[in-house]
Structure 1
């Protein structure tokens, strides 16, 4: 799922523990219940620091990190995932350009100030479901791998947490370059990702050299009326009306059990995102799925902590932080 500008969306996926006897995936994963949300302490509210910013671009970009009033906001995510296969080498089992999944979910985030300082954090969680390629509202529980013929449990993107910071905010803080396109003010964030998981986790996930390499690309857009309303003096209320286009090219998702070393190809994610004032604004069908299975994702984190991406999340939750291997998980969970 959006890293600096968005979710790590998008970024970046997760799952649960397995021991020496790796459990099959019959039962859905149950997240711990979310604690009741309490109002942020006054010393952690970002508003007083935000109010010192004078640069227009800085004000806009900070409002994509979170609401200046410190309350939760949501970036709703909707898109699709395609097979990107060099030379169409997996055809007819898996052809280049084939739509594999729809993608539906959100990143929930807030701006947090280290108490009584000018240091801000973006704190977030993201939950994004792989859904039926013909029906975006039908969450997939399993997926048949057309290469090996086995059926695997589908693991949603569930990163707890995705944090950024601290970054110091002063009156000289500036944002990214802006471009005016008709009535829209736009800016971009393109992030090349390269992480040696073999070295850091001791788990190679079938990746070439054990290295996760991806490209995350974001376009942010705010219309001129919203820009005018949100860049004046003071602390704006609510979430800024923002639209985002997100694309990611990355290796096969871990639950697909396709080793990059043996199966040439990648995934291309293409999604749109838009801001919502709060979790309550998320559609009922999506809230019902979250509340039944992943209630932790009803709220942003209350304080800074370690971050996850799709692969470390899978390692932490599905592989029990190394209690089992990715290959063993695939062997135990794949059904002929």
Structure 2
């Protein structure tokens, strides 16, 4: 009826009105099918691994939000772009002047590409992902480092990026009562956190100590997630949202020296502190051209998330698998062979 108010009273404009109505309906249909976050799933056929039907059963807002950080409910790939810096954390500044406490050693630039996967004919979901993060020049985030000079032993080593294939989570059951972490309202954003203490005995699981104290990897991972209230409202409606939820993440990690640095934690006291921010992207194609060019030239596997579940890697098991040949050489042997005076 509002369309009629556009014309003077008593004026008949039936053809124009019909065209206006038709155009309006077409525009609404297009918006619903392509851009509205809370819209129902598209008409495309959904295979048995599609997460949408399971996601649609969830009623708890925190459950809906947390699932949308695991992956797109429409089953397509999404990306969390990662950008930050890495600092030396040295007790008592004991390595100065070679490495100062608080010294910025690297920038980091990369991403995690992920998707949700349903185990066919079940209520079980996986998050499937790959992640590639490059260590870059501390003065130029877009210059990927190929080598790094260890200031303790004076040798130059090849820089190995974080390249984890795969990083999977699950399976976890999805029911209507599925709930995420507690939510907090700060100004115009909804926030939640995930703090994870990590402890892995690589000496026992891999037979490789990596120079770690007792052969044990000990780290702390800390995440803050934030979503704008308007995005929350749009993406917690009934149905299956299309696209990636607009999410921002603050990430910090304190962990031992990276394996390629060839600094044995047991002898060289100190750690690394990673501080980065991350934000969601709808697809691999939305990553900046310079970063895509690096991936496509040297790490093409990381253009897509895995198609099905498989074993997971972290920075250390990835190094073990790819650099140490799954134990055909040792970490100490790799450092001895790759360190250039």
Global fold match (TM > 0.5): yes
For residue 236 of structure 1, report the CA deviation from its aligned partner: 0.3
Alignment pair present for 1:129 and 2:134:
yes
SS at match of 2:305: coil
Asked whether the 8 Å contact 1:216–1:246 carries over to 2, the reply is yes
Structure (1/2) with the larger helix percentage: 2
Distance 1:159 1:311 in 2: 9
Q: Deviations over 1:201-246 (max 9, x none)?
A: 0000000000000000000000000000000000000000000000
For residue 320 of structure 1, report the CA deviation from its aligned partner: 0.3
Alignment pair present for 1:233 and 2:238:
yes
Q: Deviations over 1:120-178 (max 9, x none)?
A: 00000000000000000000000000111000000000000000000000001111000
Higher RCO (C-alpha 8 Å, min separation 6): 1
In the alignment, which of 282, 285, 289 is matched to residue 280 of structure 1? 285
Asked whether the 8 Å contact 1:40–1:70 carries over to 2, the reply is no
Distance 2:121 2:280 in 1: 28
Q: Which runs of 4+ in 1 moved over 2 A?
A: none
Mapping 1:93-104, distance limit 5 Å: 93-104=98-109
Distance 1:265 1:320 in 2: 27
Gaps of 5+ in 1: 1-38
Aligned to 1:179: 184
In the alignment, which of 122, 133, 148 is matched to residue 153 of structure 2? 148
In the alignment, which of 147, 160, 166 is matched to residue 161 of structure 1? 166
Aligned to 2:29: none
Aligned to 2:92: 87
Of the two, which has the highest radius of gyration? 2
Asked whether the 8 Å contact 1:189–1:217 carries over to 2, the reply is yes
Change (3 A) 1:107 1:130: same
Asked whether the 8 Å contact 1:252–1:265 carries over to 2, the reply is yes
Distance 2:225 2:140 in 1: 27
Distance 2:101 2:45 in 1: 48
Gaps of 5+ in 2: 1-43
Q: Deviations over 1:48-99 (max 9, x none)?
A: 0000000000000000000000100000000000000000000001000000
